[in-house]
Amino acid sequence: MFELREKLAGSTEGILKEKFGLSTTVHFDVSFEEGRGDLTTSVALQQAKELKKAPKEIAEVVAEGLQGIPGVQRIEIAGNGYVNVLLKSSA
């Protein structure tokens, strides 16, 4: 799972750079709470003020850009901008 976390983080950093011109470090944390996916990041909430955009708008761009990564079952946006990743059972 470590490699997939790194892949997701790197991809998210690339998306933020390409779409918003933002250079930042992204972390995906393991979620232990039911209904929050297997991995989660709050980068959209953290960067909303700097980007002058709604966190949910940023999260939507990130989620769209992460589609199709091997090992990922689906990506969801929760609350005002958390990006939750559900992994395939073989990941």
List all residues 6 or more positions away from 70 whose beta carbon is below 8 Å from its beta carbon. Answer: none
This prediction has a pTM of 0.90
Nearest one of 43, 17, 16, 19 to 29, comparing CA atoms? 43
Give me the helix-helix angle, 55-66 and 43-51, nearest 10°. Answer: 120
Q: How many CB atoms lie within 10 A of CB 28?
A: 23
For range 79-84, the mean pLDDT: 94
pLDDT attached to residue 91: 46
Residue 34 has pLDDT above 90, yes or no: no
Band of the pLDDT at 32, cuts 50, 70, 90? confident
- Beta-bridge partner residues of 77: 83
Residue 25 CA from chain centroid, whole number: 12
